[in-house]
Amino acid sequence: MKISLLPEDVYSRIAAGEVVERPVSVVKETVENSLDAGASEISVALHEGGKLRIVIEDNGEGMLFDDLPLAVARHATSKIRTVEELESVRSLGFRGEALASIAAVSRLEIRSRKAGEEQGSLLFIEGGRTVRHVPTPCRPGTRISVEDLFYTLPARRKFLKTAAAEARRVSSLVRDLAVAYPSVAFSEQHDGRQVFSSLGDGDRESLLRSLWGDPRQTPRTPSGAAHDGGFGGGELRMCEAAATNLSLECWWMPFPGKNRSAVSTFVNGRTVVDSVIRGAVGALCRSLTGNWMFFFTLAPELLDANIHPAKAEVRFRYPGEVFDVVQQAVLTLSGKPPSIAPVAPALSSGDVPVRQEPPYRAHSSSPSSQPSSRRAPAPSAGELFNRVASSPFADGQSSEASCSEDTVPLSAGGSPKWEQDSVRLLGRMESGYVVFESGDALAVMDPHAAHERIGYERARRISKESVTRQRCAVPLPLPPSFSMSVREHLEALEDVGFSFEERDGLLLLSVYPALQGGIGEDPVRLLRSVLLEWTEERKSPLEEILWRKLATLACGLSVKLGDRLAASECLALWRGLMQCEQPWSCPHGRPTVLLLPRSKLESFFGRE
């Protein structure tokens, strides 16, 4: 076959298919243009999930009448001029292909007015051909309307999902962009109904709480009881980490029991799906499920943004640093015992010491609860840990008995590198936290979080080895809608300890699995949560999901922060924590210990 040049309408639509894949591609490209134009308010409206119509409006700087046709011309842009600028892109858009691609596969209308101009302009294009270009009254800013997306590419149009599925993709993008740009007010409408809005007040934390859920605002059932699981997951956490050439702001809200994390990544304000970042996050956050957001910042010249038609991927000059900062953030949030960063300004005579911001920080932004001044009486020795059945420290009682009341040895297998042979109890704060001295370091322990971790790992071990079957006093009827799911997986549920009866066409739960010692859990709720998690993912065996649920329930039996503890009980908590597989966080992801090494103390007091 003879080689020939493709007609313009053919190659323009081929090129458009690389940039515009579905309605969310249109929203991404146009909103990025709005952000580059300095908009402080951006609205997105969808009709039929964007398949029928998409409208994006902003209050940015707008365009002049003569510039409007150039805006939809291929390879025309106001973002860069030279090859050197391409090597250090500072804007979100720079290729000059987005509007041209959208115009080639839709009916596109642009209304724009530059600030200071008395009148705006209108440009209407059908399938890449200009139909109308006239002056028109309009508000300052730009309004883009995209109708009948892919009407010129029927093959692409039939691969679009349902309106609801396409709308979900757009909603996810708009919410992520609102978090990435908290000073911009976003609003989103679906078929005339507002589904999301942000204030644009710059408060990223409040916005994340509204999107991910705030555990401080636990919804209640009509009877007034707290709803199972709360509105969100665990406490919202943030930390900052840095390497030589880049920095990272990381936000995480843990969701215990979930099998998959939701991860959003921005690099210099650009949403990307990068293999290097994905690999680092996947390797380090696999066991830390929940919602994650990563905001990387680095010099533009150390980043190549011109490697993907839709700008969805980037290339780092120093990819190894990506893994380093992600590792820093993950360890700070949930793995390594957090420590206070040093404050080491050089002070001359007469200088007033000023506290500097640490290079990165981890915090939970919910207010700390103030314990009541009226304490419960101190429990007797050995009584404290019976709340999770027998004492988990029974195997070490002989060694403890030979020690003084305020010192306890640590097993070699469970102690981290920074510990010495023993730890000394210094005291218990009025707020409930317990302070220890270990070698040349101070350690502040949250007894509730520590006891949760100890109880969780012990209950997990027991439930994996010997889950008992508990008979219901009266067989419990299952709702008809739920019993359909139970019947579908009846054999698998019976294999792990559930038993059922059937009376007059109604399915009843008669036996359920439980831990030794019994835990006050609603059997039907246990069945529902186990089955729901198993059918959602189908990646973990049903037995594993069951023991994880039972072990999590044991956490509710832990001591509270305000409980009075004897010295022997504090020391037993410490040693039990050091024998855990993951001692530095409770099952919900909260830290158990704050570590203050001697080097940090000397740096803080200027004694380096």
The pLDDT tens digits of the residues spanning 94-130 come to 666 788 889 888 999 999 999 888 899 999 999 888 9
Span 574-598, average pLDDT: 83
The predicted structure's pLDDT at residue 405: 46
Burial annotation 189-201 (CB, 10 A radius, 16+ → b, else e): bbeeeebbebebe
pLDDT at position 388: 36
Q: Which residue has the higher pLDDT, 25 or 323?
A: 25
Alpha helices in 185-332 (DSSP H): 204-212, 275-284, 320-330
Segment of 229-233, 398-402, 502-506, 588-592 carrying the highest mean pLDDT: 502-506
How would you classify the pairing of strands 107-113 and 120-126?
antiparallel
Instruction: For residues 193-213, give the mean pLDDT.
Output: 91
Could you tell me whether strands 129-136 and 262-267 are parallel, antiparallel, or unpaired per DSSP bridges?
Answer: unpaired
Q: CATH 3.30.230.10: does it fit domain 234-335?
A: yes
Q: What is the mean pLDDT of residues 525-540?
A: 70
Q: Is the pLDDT of residue 268 over 60?
A: yes
What's the confidence (pLDDT) of residue 219? Answer: 42
DSSP codes joined into one string, 78-115: SS--SHHHHTT--SS--SS-HHHHHHHTSEEEEEEE-T
The percentage of the chain sitting over the pLDDT mark of 90, rounded to a whole number, equals 22
Distance CA 219, CA 333 (A): 26
Q: Is the pLDDT of residue 32 over 50?
A: yes
pLDDT of residue 464: 58
* Residue 41 confidence (pLDDT) above 80: yes
pLDDT at 535 over 50: yes
pLDDT per residue over 329-381, tens digit each? Answer: 887 786 555 554 433 333 333 333 333 333 333 444 433 333 333 333 433 33
Give the lowest-confidence range in 208-217, 526-535, 536-545: 536-545
Tokens of 220: 């209640």
- Residue-level pLDDT at 308: 60
Q: Where are the domains of the chain?
A: 8-173, 234-335, 381-608
Determine the pLDDT at residue 187. 96
| Backbone angle region of 589, left / alpha / beta, with phi > 0 → left and psi within -120 to 50 → alpha | left
Q: Are strands 290-298 and 468-477 parallel, antiparallel or unpaired?
A: unpaired
User: Rounded CA gap, 7 and 218, in Å?
Assistant: 61
> Which range is most confident: 21-30, 71-80, 593-602?
21-30
Residues 393 and 403: their CA atoms lie apart, in Å, by 15
Distance CA 435, CA 340 (A): 15
> CB-based contacts of 67: which residues, under 8 Å, 6+ apart?
none
DSSP single-letter state for residue 555 = G
- Rounded distance between C-alpha atoms, residue 97 and residue 101, angstroms: 6
At residue 229, the pLDDT reads 35
Mean pLDDT of 292-317: 78
Q: Is the pLDDT confidence value at 391 over 60? A: no
pTM (two decimals):
0.55
DSSP class of residue 225 equals P
Q: Please check the confidence at residue 135 and state whether its pLDDT lies above 90.
A: yes
The CATH class given to the 8-173 domain equals alpha beta
How remote is the C-alpha of 75 from its chain's centroid?
37
CATH topology of domain 381-608: formyl-coa transferase, domain 3 (3.30.1540)
Distance CA 428, CA 445 (A): 10
Of 69, 67, 56, the C-alpha closest to 26 is: 56
Lowest mean pLDDT: which of 5-19, 31-45, 76-90, 385-399? Answer: 385-399
Q: Which two tokens stand for residue 313?
A: 């991927």
Per-chain mean pLDDT for the chain: 74
CA distances from 269 to 105, 182, 323, 446 (A): 28, 11, 19, 37
Give the separation between CA 546 and CA 530, rounded to whole angstroms: 6
The whole-number average pLDDT for the span 147-176 is 88
Residue 81: pLDDT band (50, 70, 90) is low
- Which residue from 198, 191, 186 is spatially nearest to 167, judged by alpha carbons? 191
Q: Does residue 15 carry a pLDDT above 70?
A: no
